[in-house]
């Protein structure tokens, strides 16, 4: 009984509950889950009701459905979410429970209901990721106190707060599944290392870029001399991939879904060109999309990765694996023509590896304890970086004006150079309400927020009509 209620378990429970409550209370713009990520909840509804991904039955005749047609893909007379279904599968239990709750209260289907489900599903996935990081730190020998500090820093001083706390993205599933894979890799029982293949393959189901981590992990098992585990891992990967391909074939008639073929890459290349040098630098330090600007504490992860990968360090091969995936991901997303990821807050394309980068704070904490001078320097740097990260990401989570930055004064997709404008920082944009009390300041944010809300409402109505026209076969588009 005492083991079941140990201080570590109590700390983990408190951490999870506190994180979830904080995430669920974020007051993000009402259009936050009405962009590319709009259809994750409806797809989960379709899985519950019909056992498939097709969206006609649940949403064709619902006036408030607000379909985002650019993120739908027509196949054989039906409509499907263009983006990967893994996140929708993950949130099925949340949506099912939410359906029971809302049906009991008499709340009908619609945007408001879907947004509430998306918000709580995102908060749950993000909180579970924080809990997994705490578990990983414990398995690596970090004290409970330091584990709580590292997990809390990940939760509230990185883009886990501003992007994933109540924004439901494909990255949300990748962060959770990648940390689940790492958690299995650091377990004491080496006979079960191969089980990490299943969460890592599911991460691929959430987003194709996660395939690199799954492949690298197989090489990692060979590197540490676990050949039998590597063989089992490879067998598990083959079975998992066969199941995924079978599922995709049953839904789309192809072995992989449309998104995995990168259909918009050519279009974006023609529109924006190839910007590799700019993207490599911009992903790290650009004022409005840089990882180290929006999560400066993760710059210390770089030091932790370098120190932890040295020959004489414990878990050096594991840390080398995490560094390799983070570096590869940075290079890969830098080849994407629209590297700033359109309308978002901060480094969204980098967000799927922030979990493993947070793990690299563990060797950084070891480095700070090596000498008295490093304790002072490392602790000071950590506290300062965490405080800055909390300030930046709290504004992304709670201040609507930070998201209006994408559209005002010029759409960032029209003028991508705005991501380098140090005079117009996204995270410093004021909220619409504060502008009413500051007549001496420009009213840009307040008016643009109203215009953005009106524009979305108008677009929703137009797309709803197109949705019905498509169903009736009367649309010319």
Question: 152-201 pLDDT, tens per residue?
Answer: 999 999 999 999 988 899 999 999 999 999 999 999 889 999 999 999 99
Output the DSSP codes for 162-204. Answer: HTTSS---HHHHHHHHHHHHHHHHT-S-GGGGGGGHHHHHHHH
In sequence order, which residues have a C-beta less than 8 Å from that of residue 262 and are 6 or more positions away? none
Dist. CA 35–CA 13, nearest whole Å: 33
Does an H or E element contain 78, and which?
A: strand 78-81
Residue 80 confidence (pLDDT): 87
Q: Which residues of 85-96 are buried (b: 16+ CB within 10 A; e: fewer)?
A: bbbbbbbeebbe
Share of the chain above pLDDT 90, in %: 58
* Cα within 13 Å of Cα(162), Cβ side: 28
Query: How many other β-carbons are positioned within 10 Å of the β-carbon of residue 397?
Result: 26
Report the pLDDT averaged over residues 371-387: 92
Residue 420 predicted with pLDDT over 70: yes
Dist. CA 50–CA 58, nearest whole Å: 9
Dist. CA 360–CA 298, nearest whole Å: 9
Dist. CA 105–CA 431, nearest whole Å: 33
Output the DSSP codes for 22-53. Answer: HHHT----TTTTSSTTTTHHHHHHHHHHHSSS
Report the pLDDT averaged over residues 118-144: 95
Residue 263 confidence (pLDDT): 66
Residue 471 confidence (pLDDT): 44
Report the pLDDT averaged over residues 105-110: 76
* Contact between 38 and 170 (Cβ < 8 Å): no
If DSSP codes are grouped into helix, strand and coil, which group holds residue 11? helix
**What are the φ and ψ backbone dihedral angles of 253, each rounded to 5 degrees?**
80, 15
If DSSP codes are grouped into helix, strand and coil, which group holds residue 287? coil
* Cα within 13 Å of Cα(275), Cβ side: 19
Residue 89 confidence (pLDDT): 96
Residue 433 confidence (pLDDT): 42
Dist. CA 21–CA 171, nearest whole Å: 21
**Cα 158–chain centre separation:** 11
In sequence order, which residues have a C-beta less than 8 Å from that of residue 473 and are 6 or more positions away? none
Q: Which bin fits 342, alpha (ψ -120 to 50), beta or left (φ > 0)?
A: left
Question: 263-315 pLDDT, tens per residue?
Answer: 666 656 656 666 889 999 999 999 999 999 999 999 999 999 999 988 777 89
Residue 369 confidence (pLDDT): 82
Closest CA to 73 of 261, 321, 316, 335: 261
**Residue 3: exposed, middle, or buried by beta-carbon count in 10 A (0-12, 13-18, 19+)?**
exposed
Residue 29 pLDDT class (50, 70, 90 cuts): very low
Output the DSSP codes for 199-232. Answer: HHHHHHHH-GGGHHHHHHHHHHHHHTT-HHHHHH
Residue 15 predicted with pLDDT over 70: yes
**What is the maximal distance between C-alpha atoms in the chain?**
74
**Residue 414: exposed, middle, or buried by beta-carbon count in 10 A (0-12, 13-18, 19+)?**
exposed
Does an H or E element contain 108, and which?
A: none
Residue 57 confidence (pLDDT): 62
Least confident of 37-41, 57-61, 137-141, 163-167: 57-61
Cα→Cα distances 422→44, 91, 427, Å = 40, 38, 11
Residue 66 predicted with pLDDT over 50: no
* Contact between 292 and 299 (Cβ < 8 Å): yes
Cα→Cα distances 24→19, 126, 154, 334, Å = 8, 10, 17, 32
Question: 436-453 pLDDT, tens per residue?
Answer: 433 332 332 333 333 333
CA dihedral over 91, 202, 283, 39, signed as positive or negative? negative
Residue 378 predicted with pLDDT over 60: yes
CA dihedral over 192, 198, 201, 203, signed as positive or negative? negative
Closest CA to 289 of 221, 349, 213, 340: 340
Distance from first CA to last CA of the chain, Å, rounded? 65
* Contact between 98 and 57 (Cβ < 8 Å): no
Cα→Cα distances 249→76, 82, 173, 242, Å = 13, 15, 22, 10
Find the helix packing angle between 316-333 and 299-308, rounded to 10°: 140
Does an H or E element contain 226, and which?
A: none
Model-level pTM?
A: 0.88
* Contact between 31 and 41 (Cβ < 8 Å): no
């Amino acid at each position: 009984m005492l083991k079941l209620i140990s201080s570590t378990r109590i700390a983990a429970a408190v951490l999870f509950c506190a994180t979830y409550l904080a995430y669920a209370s974020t007051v993000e713009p009402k259009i936050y889950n009405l962009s590319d990520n709009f259809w994750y909840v409806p797809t989960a509804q379709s899985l519950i009701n019909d056992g498939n991904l097709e969206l006609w039955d649940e949403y064709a005749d619902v006036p408030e459905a607000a379909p985002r047609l650019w993120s739908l893909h027509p196949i054989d007379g039906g409509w499907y979410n263009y983006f990967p279904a893994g996140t929708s599968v993950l949130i099925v239990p949340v949506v099912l429970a939410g359906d029971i709750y809302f049906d009991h209260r008499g709340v009908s289907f619609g945007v408001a209901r879907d947004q509430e489900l998306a918000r709580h599903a995102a908060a749950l996935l993000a909180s579970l990721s924080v809990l997994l990081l705490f578990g990983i730190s414990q398995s690596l020998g970090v004290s409970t106190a330091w584990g709580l500090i590292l997990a809390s820093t990940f939760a509230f001083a990185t883009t886990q707060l501003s992007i994933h706390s109540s924004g439901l993205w494909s990255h949300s599933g990748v962060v959770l599944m990648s940390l689940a894979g790492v958690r299995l890799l650091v377990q004491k029982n080496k006979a079960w290392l191969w089980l990490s293949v299943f969460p890592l393959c599911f991460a691929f189901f959430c987003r194709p870029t996660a395939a690199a981590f799954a492949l690298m992990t197989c090489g990692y098992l060979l590197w540490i001399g676990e050949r039998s585990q590597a063989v089992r891992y490879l067998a598990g990967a083959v079975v998992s991939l066969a199941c995924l391909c079978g599922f995709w074939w049953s839904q789309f008639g192809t072995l992989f879904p449309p998104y995995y073929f990168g259909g918009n890459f050519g279009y974006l290349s023609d529109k924006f060109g190839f910007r590799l040098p700019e993207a490599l630098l911009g992903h790290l330090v650009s004022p409005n999309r840089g990882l180290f600007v929006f999560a400066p504490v993760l710059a210390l992860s770089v030091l932790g990765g370098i120190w932890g990968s040295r020959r004489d360090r414990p878990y050096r091969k594991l840390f080398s694996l995490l560094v390799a995936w983070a570096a590869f991901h940075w290079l890969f997303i830098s080849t994407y023509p629209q590297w700033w990821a359109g309308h978002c807050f901060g480094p969204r394309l980098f967000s799927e590896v922030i979990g493993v980068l947070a793990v690299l704070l563990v060797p950084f904490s070891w480095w700070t304890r090596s000498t008295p001078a490093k304790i002072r320097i490392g602790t000071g740097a950590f506290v300062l970086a965490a405080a800055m990260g909390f300030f930046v990401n709290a504004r992304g989570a709670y201040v609507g004006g930070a998201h209006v930055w994408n559209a005002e004064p010029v759409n960032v997709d029209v003028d991508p150079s705005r991501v380098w404008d140090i005079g117009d920082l996204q995270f410093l944009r004021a909220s619409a309400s504060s502008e009413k009390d500051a007549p001496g300041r420009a009213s840009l944010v307040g008016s643009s927020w109203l215009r953005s809300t009106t524009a979305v409402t108008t677009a929703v109505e137009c797309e709803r009509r197109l949705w019905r026209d498509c169903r009736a076969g009367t649309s010319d588009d």
